[in-house]
Amino acid sequence: MTSPKTGGCLCGAVRYEINGDPVADALCHCRDCQYVSGGEPASVVVLPRDAVKITKGELKGYTKQGDSGKNVTRRFCANCGTQVISEVESNPDIIVIKAGTLNDPSAFKPGVVLYTSSAQPWAHMPEDVPHMPKGM
């Protein structure tokens, strides 16, 4: 994925711009991501925090303790409910964008599959990338 990239929520109330290269593109099968995605993994782009700028609107947040014991805050559009970003207290230097919110999500290329130990038996997992039983 080359910069800059743009994206936002379903209704257009929230927009963002990415100016930086991803740290990782991942499919996350953790149980919380299954809730957010409706069952399948969350397709996420992990970026340096300073590479992402919200250019329009505001996000609401929901915070829950992650496997690390640290908080994970999922931020979403208050109008349409689209999950846009996640912030991970255990690594405050990164921000996680939901790949489906990119204007061009075809730029997303999963490089790792996370939390395979939580994956549902019917979940699709690409075989040509590394699999990790937990997170990175």
Distances (CA, A) of 92 to 2, 9, 24, 37: 23, 23, 15, 23
Query: For the segment 33-53, what is each residue's pLDDT rounded down to a tens digit?
Result: 999 888 889 999 999 999 999
User: Does position 63 have pLDDT exceeding 90, yes or no?
Assistant: yes
Q: What is the share, in percent, of the chain residues with pLDDT greater than 90? A: 85
Alpha-carbon span 112 to 18, nearest angstrom = 21
In this prediction, residue 3 carries a pLDDT of 61
Domain boundaries, the chain: 5-118
Query: Is domain 5-118 given the CATH code 3.40.50.2020 in the classification?
Result: no
User: Does position 74 have pLDDT exceeding 80, yes or no?
Assistant: yes
In this prediction, residue 67 carries a pLDDT of 81
pTM of the model: 0.91
User: Does position 1 have pLDDT exceeding 90, yes or no?
Assistant: no
Query: Quick one: 69 exposed, middle or buried, by C-beta within 10 A (0-12, 13-18, 19+)?
Result: exposed
In this prediction, residue 39 carries a pLDDT of 87
Q: Which two three-digit tokens encode residue 109?
A: 């290329």
Average pLDDT, the chain: 93
Q: What angle do CA 84, 16, 43 make, to 5 degrees?
A: 35
